[in-house]
Amino acid sequence: MLYYSAHLVPPNYSGNATGAIGGLVDGADWEHQELMKQAKNTFREWYLPDATREDVIYMLRDRDPGSFIIRNSISCVNSFSLGIKAPPYPPQAAATSDFLRSGQVKHFIIGTVPMYDGRGDGVQLCGFNDQPVFPALTDFVSHHCLHPGPLPCALRLPSSISASQQRLGGYDSITKYGVPAGGSGIMVDMLYLGCVPVDRLEKSAAIRKAISHILSLAATSVNGLPKRCEVTIHAKPTEGVKFTDRSKRNLVEKHLKPSQILFCGSDPEGRNYVDAGLRNRGFVHAKTFGILIRKKQLWMHENLVYVFSELDPNQSAVTLINYISHTFTS
C-alpha cells in the first residue's frame, strides 16, 4: 500500500518563505506573493490527487501551453506527478509519435525531501541537478510560473473560477473532471468545413485523415470549401448531435444519432484552420476537430468524419469534444 506525504506539504499550506534559505523563494517579492494567492485560490483546479495519467492527458491535450495538473504519483512513493501541456515543436524539429499521441503533455515527478533547515519535508522537482526545495506545492507552483527551469515552459495558473465551470454552468450536472453530464445538453456555434469518407479508419487516424483532406482542399481549391458555413451544434444525450446552417444559405442540416457516433476529437497534429473571415474577427488560431460516425447501407458500412473548426474565441471546441466523448463514446 502506498502512503503519500501530502499531509506534510498540503497544496494550500501557507509556508513562510520570507528570509528563506537553501534555495527557497523569497516570499517578499510582490509578484511571487500575488502568484501565491492565485495558486492557493485555485489549488482545487490544479491539484487532483486521485486523477490518473490518462485523466491528465485527456484534460490537458486541448489546453494552452503551460496548463498543468498535479496528482499523487502511483509509481513513486511519497511523490507527486506533474503533467504539463508543452509548447509545440518548432517546424524544423520532428515531434515524436509518443509526444503527439500524448497531446503534447509531458510528465515530471515531484518528490518529497527534507527541508534544508530541518522544518520537515518539502517538495522538489526530481531528475535534475540543483533544484530548489519548497515548503508546499503552492510555493513550487508559483515559483515555476515565473521561472520554468527545466520544465518545457512556465506553469500557467487557471483563473479563480475555472473556465470549464463558467462554460458549463448551465448544465444539469458536471462529472468529476469537468465534463458535463445529462440534462438538456450543450449548444455551441462552430464553423462546418465539410464531410470526408475515411473508409474504416477509426478514432484519431480517421480524424487526422479527414482534417488533412479538408485543409489541403482549402489551400488548393479555387472555390475553397463548398460546404463551409457557420452552424449551431446541439448535442443531447437522447437525441445525438444536430447541426444546422445559421444563415440557411447552404441548407446544411444534419442529425447524427447516438448509435452512429463512434468518436470525437481534435486534430492529433494540432493544426488550426485559418481564413480571412476568422482573421477579420481577430481569431487567428481556430482549433479543428471532427466527429466520426458510421454510416450503414444495407449490409455495408463506411466511416465518415464531419470536420469543424472553432468560430468564436469564447466558445471552445474542447467543451463540445469532452461532452460528446463522455456522452456518446465512453
Place of cell 511519497: 78
CA–CA separation, 3 vs 124, rounded Å? 18
Strand order from edge to edge, sheet including 79-85: 68-72, 79-85, 105-114, 121-125
One digit per residue, pLDDT tens: the chain, 330 residues? 333 333 334 444 333 333 232 344 444 466 677 888 888 888 878 888 878 888 888 788 878 899 999 999 888 888 999 999 998 865 444 555 555 555 689 999 999 888 776 667 889 999 998 899 988 888 899 999 999 999 999 999 986 544 444 333 344 444 433 444 445 678 888 999 999 999 888 899 999 999 999 999 988 877 778 888 889 999 888 889 999 888 766 567 899 999 999 999 999 888 889 887 777 766 777 889 999 999 877 667 889 999 999 988 777 888 888 888 888 876
Q: Report residue 55: phi and psi, to 5°.
A: -60, -45
CB-CB contact of 51 with 72 (8 Å): no
pLDDT at 196: 95
For residue 155, what is its C-alpha cell? 506553469
pLDDT at 246: 82
CA–CA separation, 154 vs 147, rounded Å? 6
Name which of 263, 277, 261, 266 is nearest 229 in CA terms.
277
pLDDT at 66: 93
Name which of 73, 102, 74, 75 is nearest 86 in CA terms.
102
Q: Is the pTM of this model over 0.95?
A: no
